[in-house]
Chain A
Amino acid sequence: MRKPIYLDYSATTPVDPRVAEVMCRYLTMEGDFGNPASRSHAFGWDAEKAVERARGEVAALINADPKEIVWTSGATESDNLALKGAAHFYQTKGRHIVTVKTEHKAILDTARQLEREGFEVTYLDPEPNGLLDLGKLEAALRKDTILVSVMHVNNEIGVIQDLAAISRIVKPRGILFHSDAAQSAGKIPIDVAALGVDLLSLSAHKVYGPKGIGALYVRRKPRVRLEAQMHGGGHERGMRSGTLATHQIVGMGEAFRLAREEMETEATRLKGLRMRLLAGLSDIEEVYVNGDLEQRIPGNLNISFNFVEGESLIMALKELAVSSGSACTSASLEPSYVLRALGRNDELAHSSIRFTMGRFTTEEDMEYTIRLLHEKIGRLRELSPLWEMYKDGVDLNSVQWAAH
């Protein structure tokens, strides 16, 4: 068994060897290295053909028309283009945007920027299971609301929002609907027609493709307009200028093609692994699953081990590559803002670990993880004054803590 065991597939995935092999054909003199925008020779035409084939593969995974796919550098750029692009284009219609507190920072930070530009943003609280209450969403919509952005799958807790139901509330009001699907693409079926989204952000590196490439789905019927955020040669129908990264794009295309073919069997396998992991931990006291267990992607398990601090647990689990909160925020000492938004108390938020399984995770990995967790949780609880107090029947909420 190779150690550390990689259980952080929601942070990123390795490039599938089949994808890497295809990418290598688009880099060197011997390969199709041309600029897809070159119209005057075969080098350009061949590269363009490869790019369009990949566009077709990405579109096919989400049941879109290839013309609705805009290449970007990743889901963060897609989120920026969707939010800023739509807000800037439609600002004469209204200046109010609705999103959720558990969104990725690429949405939240972009929304903050739009607030600085004079837009108004409503940040909805999710329910304790991480899902959005549709009644609260409806109540937040106003006459001047131009855009609603709700992520499809949360990166920390893996819960799946009901986009189709959200769309049924948002669309009749003539409001645009965006969703960040970086964590759902290739894991659960996506049908942009059935879900009723106008804009959808995608990333390659969460789906066994390369880092540095993503896409934004932009609906054509009815047409959604965006103000470009990157100006230049007018690539991607003027929505995103910049020479297309052919090797990255074919990598994303191949990754999405493989995902389409293998998603169903892989989902069943991953669900089995997660059930095994959860069952293996069920005899440990004071363990809490964060987020809804049913409406959740198969490969995610986010758990709080009460009375054990997350960072010390990660240190104890050095043979596992797992994360506490999301990788983007773990440099700070703050507990996960996602778990806090669910109403989890700070102690449980501090004690959370995210396990995300993927294509190369085995049953053996799960058995090892279960054994290791039993050993390390036991050891750290022996060290924990809170565990001792809990065992002695002390109500920790009744203690006067010396806050610092």
Chain B
Amino acid sequence: MAYGTKVLDHYENPRNVGSFDKADPAIGTGMVGAPACGDVMRLQIRVNDQGVIEEARFKTYGCGSAIASSSLLTEWVKGKTLEQAGQIKNTDIAEELALPPVKIHCSVLAEDAIKAAIADYRKKNGKDENVNAA
């Protein structure tokens, strides 16, 4: 399968790879997907008192498009409020990376990951809202 240049760039130079301490109350963790399906994404966000995402980290088991989708996501969410980050749509990711139809599910997974990370943060900090998590 031929990959687009943006996918290749993120795959070869993934941004913000790594982990935060899950137990830290300022950290929201979202892990979505399943090994049996061939992709697992873990996205972590560090949120400040103003509800702004200061930093994001990811690790992804999956194809190049899944890695690229999560890498891109870490760049996009940085500096956004939780509300803004929660509005990122999979179609925006798919469009930016020019994902082919068979790889759209990778962008869906990325959207699920940020929603799950936000929900985790809110739950930990007693701000559990009815967020549409994965």
Interface on A for B, CB 8 Å cutoff? Answer: 307-309, 311-312, 315, 331, 333, 335, 345-347, 350, 382-388, 396, 401-404
Cβ–Cβ contact B38 & A402, under 8 A? no
Task: Give B36's nearest chain A residue, CB to CB.
Answer: A346
Cβ–Cβ contact A404 & B105, under 8 A? yes
Cβ–Cβ contact B36 & A404, under 8 A? no
Contacts A315-B11, A404-B105, A404-B112 given; indicate if A383 touches B67 (C-beta within 8 A): yes
Please report the C-alpha to C-alpha distance between residue A388 and residue B62 in the assembled complex, in whole angstroms: 14
Cβ-neighbour of A404 out of B34, B42, B59, B60 (below 8 A): B34
B85: interface (CB < 8 Å):
no
**Please, which residues of chain A bring their CB within 8 A of the CB of B33?**
401-402, 404
Cβ–Cβ contact B63 & A307, under 8 A? no
**Please, which residues of chain A bring their CB within 8 A of the CB of B64?**
311-312, 315
Please report the C-alpha to C-alpha distance between residue A308 and residue B60 in the assembled complex, in whole angstroms: 10
**Please, which residues of chain B bring their CB within 8 A of the CB of A402?**
31-34, 112, 116, 134
Please report the C-alpha to C-alpha distance between residue A385 and residue B105 in the assembled complex, in whole angstroms: 19
Cβ–Cβ contact A307 & B61, under 8 A? yes
Cβ-neighbour of B38 out of A335, A383, A388 (below 8 A): A335
Cβ–Cβ contact B34 & A309, under 8 A? no
Please report the C-alpha to C-alpha distance between residue A303 and residue B127 in the assembled complex, in whole angstroms: 47
Cβ–Cβ contact B59 & A383, under 8 A? yes
Contacts A385-B60, A386-B40, A404-B105 given; indicate if A396 touches B67 (C-beta within 8 A): no
**Please, which residues of chain B bring their CB within 8 A of the CB of A335?**
38
Cβ–Cβ contact B11 & A401, under 8 A? no
Cβ–Cβ contact A346 & B35, under 8 A? yes
**Main secondary structure on chain B at its contact with chain A?**
mixed
Cβ–Cβ contact B40 & A385, under 8 A? yes
**Please, which residues of chain B bring their CB within 8 A of the CB of A401?**
33-36, 40
Contacts A311-B64, A384-B61 given; indicate if A347 touches B36 (C-beta within 8 A): yes
Cβ–Cβ contact A383 & B105, under 8 A? no
**Please, which residues of chain A bring their CB within 8 A of the CB of B59?**
383-385, 388
The listed residue with most A CB atoms (<10 A of its CB), out of B11, B14, B32, B37, is B37
Cβ–Cβ contact A386 & B61, under 8 A? yes
Within 8 A of A (CB), among B31-75: 31-42, 59-64, 66-67
Cβ–Cβ contact A383 & B112, under 8 A? no
Please report the C-alpha to C-alpha distance between residue A179 and residue B66 in the assembled complex, in whole angstroms: 40
**Please, which residues of chain A bring their CB within 8 A of the CB of B61?**
307-309, 383-387
Task: Give B108's nearest chain A residue, CB to CB.
Answer: A404
Task: Give A346's nearest chain B residue, CB to CB.
Answer: B36
Task: Give B133's nearest chain A residue, CB to CB.
Answer: A402
B17: interface (CB < 8 Å):
yes
Contacts A384-B59, A386-B61, A404-B105 given; indicate if A396 touches B35 (C-beta within 8 A): yes
Cβ-neighbour of A312 out of B11, B41, B109 (below 8 A): B11
B48 to chain A, nearest CB (A): 25
Please report the C-alpha to C-alpha distance between residue A179 and residue B62 in the assembled complex, in whole angstroms: 37
Task: Give B116's nearest chain A residue, CB to CB.
Answer: A402
B19: interface (CB < 8 Å):
yes
Please report the C-alpha to C-alpha distance between residue A139 and residue B64 in the assembled complex, in whole angstroms: 45
B30 to chain A, nearest CB (A): 10
B23: interface (CB < 8 Å):
no
Cβ-neighbour of B63 out of A312, A345, A382, A396 (below 8 A): A312
**Please, which residues of chain B bring their CB within 8 A of the CB of A315?**
3, 11, 63-64
Please report the C-alpha to C-alpha distance between residue A61 and residue B59 in the assembled complex, in whole angstroms: 52
Contacts A333-B102, A382-B17 given; indicate if A403 touches B34 (C-beta within 8 A): yes
A141 to chain B, nearest CB (A): 35
Task: Give A315's nearest chain B residue, CB to CB.
Answer: B64
**18 A-B contact pairs sorted by A residue (CB < 8 Å):** A308-B61, A309-B63, A311-B1, A311-B38, A315-B11, A315-B63, A331-B1, A345-B36, A346-B38, A383-B59, A383-B60, A385-B59, A388-B19, A388-B59, A396-B35, A402-B32, A403-B34, A403-B36
